[in-house]
Structure 1
Amino acid sequence: MVVKKVLFKEHLIVARRKNGHLLVCGTHAFFPQCREYEFLTSENCYKSLHDFNGRGITPYDPRANYVYSPESNEIYHATVSDFNGNDPLIYKKKIPTGDRIRTQKDDLRVLGRKL
């Protein structure tokens, strides 16, 4: 019997938010997750504030080009939403939980056309 070994790699994005908090998002074994941290000066360490779904925020491929711009608790992100890279999107989400909006799902005309 042949057993195929599969290696899962975690891809992370780390960003300092406008409010000084640290935002960490990772692929989390194909179920993207994000966590926000606050630095506690008195204890000289980071405290976890909350976790939230990172789908549409976290890139599956470390070579992928994407843009992250934190402004007033919102993330704007251009990436793909699936592991195979078949669903390109532009995504906006209020951090940590809140309204989100994205380009139409599975419409390759949005980002797939050469200019």
Structure 2
Amino acid sequence: MKASANAVAPALLCYCLLSRCATGAFDGYGGAMLGSLQFPGVWNISSALLSAVSGTLYLGARDTLLSVDAASLSSKQEAIVWKVPEEKRQLCMNKGKTEADCHNYILVLEFVEKDRIYACGTYAFDPQCAFINTVDFSLQREAGGGVRMEAGKGKCPFDPRQRHTTVMADGVLYSATTNNFMGTMPLISRATGPERERVRTEESSSWLSEPEFVSAALVRENAAGDDEKIYFFFSEVAEEYDLYMKVKTARVARVCKGDVGGMKVLQKRWTSFLKAGLV
């Protein structure tokens, strides 16, 4: 049974308000039903971001970004096409990926400022990020006319199927994703900001053991802002159980927003990283 636009819009608004519309709002390959219902010609809606000020819902899909009125999803929407060049798609397929894999699935949408969005996509298994101007809904471009892009490794997964999450805190992106082509190196990191402050988790299963990331949140604990924390919610293989089969358990990890790493072996590594099981 098809849902009406009047039924879908409030549900999406409620979802976005409760969850910040974090990355992964829709499965990377499972958004086609929503896309076919409301947005002809758009496939694989993978991320969503709601502006509480303007009531605009921004959607990341395959090779496309959408701007729609959240109160009426059936109304006319604006679209930005952000495709991968054909030669880059061919290179992706030469590495053993399918034609469907080698598109640009926009998985990360976060406000940097009130009129600027940071967007990251898989870009044919070579993650890239770009800035969106919400005033005229356009991609920021270089002087030569090309899209201004920066490396998305560590900010967005290579594979659109992989679970991930991000949160923007005072203009700095914190990310939980995988960091390599094979999707076997998970990390939680401060992914943007000054290079010297880009810290991350250690490459150790005691820190992260085959995690599937769900959500992230900034918690401001006092008005001065000197004790702010970032929380990451995920499931992972529980190493504390000595069982024949792998057992997944729910976790929450916490880092301090002001953590800039330590000395020697802890350079560019979180010194405040803690994780606990959820019951």
Taking structure 2 as the reference length, the TM-score comes to 0.34
For residues 47 and 63 of structure 1, the distance between their equivalents in structure 2, rounded to whole angstroms, comes to: 25
- Aligned-pair CA distance for 1:51: 2.3
More strand by share: 1
Give distance in 1, aligned partners of 2:123 and 2:183.
17
Structure 2, gaps ≥5 residues long? 1-95, 142-147, 210-236, 239-276
Q: CA deviation at 1:11?
A: 2.3
* The structure with more helix, counted as a fraction of residues: 2
Deviating 4+ runs (over 3 angstroms): none
**Cross-structure match for 1:39:** 134
Identity %: 26
- Specify the alignment match of 1:108 in structure 2: 205
Distance 2:185 2:177 in 1: 8
Separation in 1, partners of 2:200, 2:161: 22
2: CA distance, partners of 1:39 / 1:5: 33
Tell me how far apart the structure 1 counterparts of residues 97 and 198 of structure 2 sit (CA, whole Å).
37
Q: Which has the higher contact order (CA 8 A, sep 6+)?
A: 1
Distance 1:71 1:46 in 2: 23
RMSD value over aligned CA atoms?
Answer: 2.6
- Partner residue, 2:120: 25
Distance across 2 between alignment mates of 1:14 and 1:56: 12
Cα deviation code 1:44-89 (max 9, x no counterpart): 3425064221101112333332221111111111111012221111
TM-score (norm 1): 0.73
Q: Does 1:9 align with 2:103?
A: yes
Aligned partners of 2:175 and 2:189 also within 8 Å: yes
Specify every segment of 5 or more residues in structure 1 that has no aligned partner in the other structure, as ranges.
none
